[in-house]
Chains A and B, each alone.
Chain A
Amino acid sequence: MTHLLSALGEADTPFRVLGAALFAFLFVRALQTAEIRPLRSPRWLLARVSLTAAAGLVLVAALNYLVNPLGMYAPRIFEPIVLHSRAEKMRLYRAAQPPPEIVVLGSSSSFTMSPTYIRERTGQVAFNASLHGGVPEDYLAFLRYMESLGKLPKILVVPMSVEQVRPDLPTGFEPHNPLRPYLEREPRSVLADLRRLMTLEQTRASLRLLVAERWGRPPPHYRFDHDGWAHFVDSGASLDTIVDSYLATKEWSAGLYKFRDLDETQMVYFRRFLELARDLGVKVIVYVPPLHPRAVAFYERETNLPALRTQLLEQLRAWETGGLIAGLHDFTRVESFGGNASQFHDLAHPTAEASRRMLDVIFGPRPARS
C-alpha cells in the first residue's frame, strides 16, 4: 500500500510538465502585452479566467467523484485502486471460527507469521491480523474492535520497529479506513472529503485507475488466506536487486532514520494498547522485526538507527519490567533467530521460513516428538 501510494505520488510529471508549459506560455505571451493596446476590458478577461477555472475544477471534482479511485465516496463504478487490508482483516476476523486464541497484530513485516504454524506449535487457534503500514494506533484500534466483537484472544504477538514510530510516518493512510471509529480521531469531515476531490493526488489516482481499467490491472503483491496469512507474489527479480532498488528509493534510503526521537504520539498509542490488553487480560508478546543484513549494515553506517533502536528497546524493556509486556525479543539481526540473508522477500519483509524461526523463539523450543 505504501509503495503503491508513493508510486502514485511520484507519477505526477505530466501534470507538472503541463503546468510548467502553461506558465512559460503565459509568461512569454505577457512580455509582448506592453506594446499592444487592449481592445477588451479587464472584466472580459476576469470573466473568462473565472469561468475556465471554475469549469476545470468542477470537471476534475466530478471525475474524481465518479471514478472514486481511493474508495472514499459513494459511487462504486470501479474497484478502488488502493488496497484495503484493514477492511479485509476486520471481515476475516469477524468470520473466523472458532475464535482465535493467538493473534498476530502488526504491519506487512509480520504478514508471513503463519497461523497454521502457530497452531501446530501451540495447539491454539491463531489469526494473522497484520495490516498494511500497521502502526501502534492500528494495534489499539484493532484490539478495541476485537473487544467490540466479544472475540478477544489470549495472546497477542506484535512487531514493534523504529520504522513504525518514526515522526514523519504517514498513518491512517487507507482513505476508507474502517478502523478509524475505534480511535479518538476527529470524525470524518465532509469538507475534507470535498477538498480531497480537488487534489492532484486523487486526480492522478483517477487517471491511473482508468488506465488500469483499460489496459489491465497489475497483479496484487499478496493475497490473504481466511486466517489472515499473506502469500507474497514472487516478482521474479533477485533478492540483491530488490534490496538495492529499495535502498535507492527516497523512502528507504539514508533519510529514513535521520530523526533523533521516536514519535511520541505513536509511543503513547502503544502504551495505551498495552494497558488495554492488560486490563482485558490479554498477554502481549513484542518483537523487533528483522531487516535484511545489508540494510542493517547500511542503516547502522549511514543513519541514526542504532541510537533509535536502543531508545525503543529501553522503553520496551521498561514496559516489560512494569508487567505490560509478557515477552520481548529483538530480531533485528537474522542471527538472533537462526535465520539468514536469503530469508527475505525484500529489505524488510521476512519469508515464511524466517517467520517460522521467529515463532520458534517466541514460543520456546519445539516439544520433542515421542
Chain B
Amino acid sequence: MLFPSHLFLFGFLPVVVAVYWVLAPRARRWWLLAASAVFYGWADWRFLLLLGGMTALSFLATTHLMGRESLAARRLGLALALGNLVILGVFKYYDLFATTLDALATRNGLEPMASVLHLALPLGISFYTFNLLSYSLDVYRQRAAPASSLPDLLRYASFFPTVTSGPLMRWSDFSAQMETDGRPEAARIEQGVFSFSLGLGKKLVIADWIAQVIDPLWANPAALGVWGAWLAVVGYHFRLYFDFSGYCDMAVGLGHFLGIQVPANFRAPYTARTITEFWHRWHITLSTWFRDYLFFPLTRFLLRRAGDRYTAWTRPLSLVLTMSLTGFWHGPSWTYLVWGTYQGVLLAIHAQTRSRRRPWPAWVGRSFTTLALLLGWGLFRSGSMSMAGSLYASMFGLRGWGPAPTSILGVDAGFLLLLAGLFILTNLPRDVPDLRPRREWGYAVALGAFLVIALLCVGQPSPFLYFQF
C-alpha cells in the first residue's frame, strides 16, 4: 500500500487513526500492530513472514542470549542478531555478486560459477533490517533494555509510517513513546496534517512533475548534449530531495497522528556549505546510524591497531569505508559503491583540510558543495558505470551542446520557473519538520487548496525513489 493512494488516504488512514484513539492504551498497541501488518502485507503477505522471522531472530538473540551473564552467550546472541544482515545480503546483493562472478569467469574462459536467484527484494528490507540491527547492538552494548515481548518488537519493526522507507528509528525512542498512554492532542494532529500535506504535495506535485521531464533524458544519456545532461542532473538533484523528503514528511505527519515522534530525516540539506554539513542534513537517520554503529567503532578499532604513526590516517580511512558502505546500502549496483566512496573521499578531504584554512564565504561553500553533489548524483542515478561515463561525457561537452533546454520535451516556462523557485526554496534556512503552520484564514485556505491539488494527483504511477533502496 502506498501513502499516496486512494485506499490509504480515504480508507486505511482515517480508520486506523480514528480507531487508534478510541481504544484503550493496551488495545491501541495491538491495533497498531494489526494495522502495520495489513499495511506491510498488502502487496505480498510472504514479505510479512520474512519481517516476522527477522524480528523473531532479533528478539531471541537479545532476550534469551544477550541477557545472560556469560560473555560467550552474549556474543552468540550478537552473532545471531547479525544473521539479519546475512538475510539482507542474500536478498539484496547475492545476484549482483553472482552476475559479477559469472562475468569474470566467462571473461577468463571459465564456466559460470554462481547461479542467479532473481529474488524479489522485499519492500523496506534495508530499513527494517537496520532498525533491528540498531536494536540488537544497543541491547548488546547495554544502552537499551531488550523488548519485553515479541509483539513489542514487531510493532517497532513494522511501524507502518516508517517501515517501507524510513526514517530509521531507535528502539529506545520508539518504545518509550509506546509506553505513554496519552490522548490525542490537537496541536500534534495539526502538525501532522501540515507535515503530511506538504509531504504529499512535495512528492506528487513537484517531484513527479520533474520526473515527467527528466526521466526520458535519463533513458539515454548518450543522446544528450551539455544542456540536456545538466538539465537531467539538476532535475534529479531536486527530484530526489522532494521525493524522499516528501515521503519522510508524510511519515513524520503520520507519526503525529498516532502520537509518535518520528525523527526528521532532512534539515535543509541544500543549504550546506560543506560536504560534512550536507551529511548532517541529508538522510540524517541513516548517516547517524552509520556514524554510531560503523564509523565510531571502526575508528576506535583502527586507532587501537594502527599505532601512533598512522593515527592521522584512521579518520579519513574510516570515513571512506563508512561512506562506501553507506553508498552500497542504497542498492545492488557498483555505481552506489563508487558513489559512496566518492562521498567518503570528499568527507575525508574536508576533514583533513578544514582546520588548516579559513572557512570559505557561505556562497562559495554552497556553490562547491552543490557542484560536488551534482557530480555525485550523476553516478547515483546511473544504472551502470558505462551509463555514468556516458552522462559525464555529455555533461562536459564531449557530445556538443545539444538542443537548447527549451526545445526538450516538457521544458517550458513553467518548468524553468519551477527549477528557479526550487533553487530559492532549498536555500532557505529551515525544512518542513522545523516549520509550524500559521493559524490564519489565508494560510488555512492555501493549505486546503494545496491538499486538494495533491489529492488530484494521487493515482499517477510513480513509486517513491527510496522504495528501491
Interface residues of A (CB under 8 A from B): 10, 13-20, 22-34, 36, 38-46, 48-53, 55-57, 60, 195, 198-200, 203, 248-250, 253-255, 258, 302
Contact = CB atoms under 8 A, between A and B. Distances in A.
B450 to A, nearest CB: 4
Contacts of B197: 49
B452 A57 contact: yes
B116 interface: no
Given A24-B425, A31-B429, A46-B193, 20 more contacts: A16-B209, A18-B453, A22-B201, A23-B425, A26-B446, A28-B425, A29-B443, A33-B436, A41-B439, A42-B439, A49-B193, A51-B448, A52-B447, A52-B451, A57-B452, A198-B455, A248-B409, A250-B409, A254-B219, A254-B223
B438 A15 contact: no
B117 interface: no
A23 B429 CA distance: 16
A248 B450 CA distance: 33
Interface stretch (B182-190, B320-328, B393-401): B182-190
A341 B460 CA distance: 38
Contact of A249 (B202, B409, B418): B409
Given A28-B428, A31-B435, A48 B444 contact: yes
A255 B219 contact: yes
B417 interface: yes
A32 B443 CA distance: 12
Interface in B381-428: 409-410, 412, 414-415, 417-418, 421, 425, 428
B24 interface: no
A249 B410 CA distance: 10
A306 B414 CA distance: 39
Contact of A49 (B414, B436, B447): B447
B448 A17 contact: no
Given A44-B439, A255-B219, A27 B453 contact: no
Contacts of B456: 15, 60, 198-200, 203
B428 A30 contact: no
Contacts of A18: 453
A23 B450 contact: yes
B198 A27 contact: yes
B455 A23 contact: no
Nearest to B205: A19
B124 to A, nearest CB: 25
- Looking at B206, B216, B444, B455, the one whose CB has the most chain A CB atoms below 10 A away is B444
B445 A19 contact: no
A135 B448 CA distance: 42
Nearest to A56: B452
Contacts of A258: 219
A40 B201 contact: no
Interface of B: 6, 186-187, 189-190, 193-194, 197-198, 201-202, 205-206, 209, 212, 216, 219-220, 223, 409-410, 412, 414-415, 417-418, 421, 425, 428-430, 432, 435-439, 441, 443-460
Contacts of A32: 438
14 contacts: A10-B212, A10-B410, A13-B412, A17-B418, A28-B428, A30-B436, A43-B186, A45-B437, A45-B443, A49-B444, A52-B445, A57-B452, A60-B452, A255-B219
Nearest to B216: A250
A19 B206 contact: yes
> Which secondary structure characterizes the binding site on chain B?
helix
Contacts of A250: 216, 409
Contact of A45 (B414, B415, B444): B444
A198 B437 CA distance: 26
Contacts of A19: 201, 205-206, 450, 453-454, 457
A56 B453 CA distance: 9
B446 A22 contact: yes
Given A13-B415, A48-B444, A255-B219, A30 B437 contact: yes
Nearest to A30: B435
B430 to A, nearest CB: 6
Q: Which 9 A-B pairs have the closest CB atoms?
A: A52-B448, A48-B444, A56-B452, A19-B205, A42-B190, A30-B435, A42-B186, A40-B439, A22-B450
B183 to A, nearest CB: 14
A36 B437 CA distance: 11
A46 B425 contact: no
Nearest to A22: B450
A193 to B, nearest CB: 12
A16 B439 CA distance: 25
A48 B444 CA distance: 6
Contacts of B212: 10
B198 A26 contact: yes
B219 A20 contact: no
A33 B449 contact: no
A53 B206 contact: no
A133 B452 CA distance: 32
A330 B217 CA distance: 33
Contact of A23 (B198, B417, B436): B198
Nearest to B415: A13
A8 to B, nearest CB: 13
Given A29-B438, A42-B187, A57 B453 contact: no
Contacts of B430: 31
A24 B445 CA distance: 14
- Looking at A26, A46, A56, the one whose CB has the most chain B CB atoms below 10 A away is A26
Contacts of A253: 216
A26 B448 contact: no
A19 B460 CA distance: 16
A50 B459 contact: no
B254 to A, nearest CB: 16
Nearest to B412: A13
A357 B410 CA distance: 39
Nearest to B6: A195
Contacts of A25: 446
B188 to A, nearest CB: 8
Nearest to B459: A199
A16 B418 contact: yes
Contact of B448 (A33, A49, A302): A49
Contacts of B457: 19, 200
Contacts of B432: 27
A30 B434 CA distance: 9
- Looking at B189, B448, B460, the one whose CB has the most chain A CB atoms below 10 A away is B448
B435 A13 contact: no
A36 B415 CA distance: 34
A33 B206 contact: no
B460 to A, nearest CB: 7
Nearest to A194: B6
Nearest to A191: B6
A74 B216 CA distance: 38
A270 B417 CA distance: 47
Contact of B441 (A16, A39, A48): A48
Contacts of B205: 16, 19-20, 23
A26 B450 contact: yes
B418 A20 contact: yes
B264 to A, nearest CB: 15
A36 to B, nearest CB: 7
Nearest to A204: B456
